[in-house]
Structure 1
């Protein structure tokens, strides 16, 4: 049961998780009226960030008890992961904590991740646009775009958006490059999962936000 956790442990997890999903979007300190964000911004956490030795169900309960609005597991499409997927489906149904998306990494089998997201009630698949240094930049651009174009039709059919990130792949490291890359796919079902912390390596997050604008669907925010 959730009330068996002492406040020290629960408090620690709450602080650690909150630091990984909440941070200012601008460099300067600015007070924000949180009431103005009510109903507009929801906080979630990656499932693999919960390191407590608990069942899937109890991890969902813990996150709900800590006040999170959702959770995002990694895509589990391998044959030996079917039980884990069943556990996820059961946990979200029984606890009421939504699975808002799945993390797919850069693997090309994006259709499988889309199907799993739909099955779990999620509305997005996080897809990392990889940079294969063994081929030319242009070829990498073409290959990764092909994966997204192929996936876009399936995403529209399943009503699950593909949201791209560059993480630290050193590809699409400038905001106008990412903007043009997304626009070239020509699908409203391919947008951006904007990681505020990652782009600090190459520039100012607010500049990326200004350029990407409506293409940003979700945010990754961490300390």
Structure 2
């Protein structure tokens, strides 16, 4: 087994490493972030016993930018239907950022 590195392959690897070490400084310059990082809360974390609109209004009043309900196959995680949840979120003007699904295939 030949473990020797030839001069040619050493110089090629060194030149490649030197080039790549300078490239990110020129390529990866990002500007100042001017947007807003949005925060959402999972609906299941809101434990108060109150109507759906009041729960969503409370989430919005606390400063969250959205809500994420959980939908699972054959199980009911919402205390309302999906249509009622969507109507309440629209009425309160709290976007549904995403729907969390079950990882259980059964």
Per the shorter chain, which TM-score range?
Answer: 0.5 to 0.7
Q: 1:96 to 1:48 in 2, by over 3 A?
A: same
Partner of 2:89: 92
How far apart, in 2, do the equivalents of 1:41 and 1:93 lie? 21
Q: Does the 8 Å CA contact 2:72/2:102 hold for their aligned counterparts?
A: no
Aligned residues: 74
Q: Does the 8 Å CA contact 1:57/1:90 hold for their aligned counterparts?
A: no
Partner of 2:35: 39
Higher share in strand? 1
The TM-score, its normalising length taken from structure 2, stands at: 0.57
The TM-score, its normalising length taken from structure 1, stands at: 0.29
Gaps of 5+ in 1: 1-35, 110-223
Higher share in helix? 1
* In the alignment, structure 1 residue 49 sits paired with structure 2 residue 45: yes
How far apart, in 1, do the equivalents of 2:64 and 2:37 lie? 11
Larger Rg: 2
Partner of 1:59: 55
Q: CA deviation at 1:47?
A: 0.7
Q: 1:82 to 1:76 in 2, by over 3 A?
A: farther
- What is the root-mean-square deviation in Å for CA atoms of aligned residues? 2.7
Higher RCO (CA-CA < 8 Å; seq separation 6+): 2
Q: Secondary structure at the match of 1:45?
A: strand
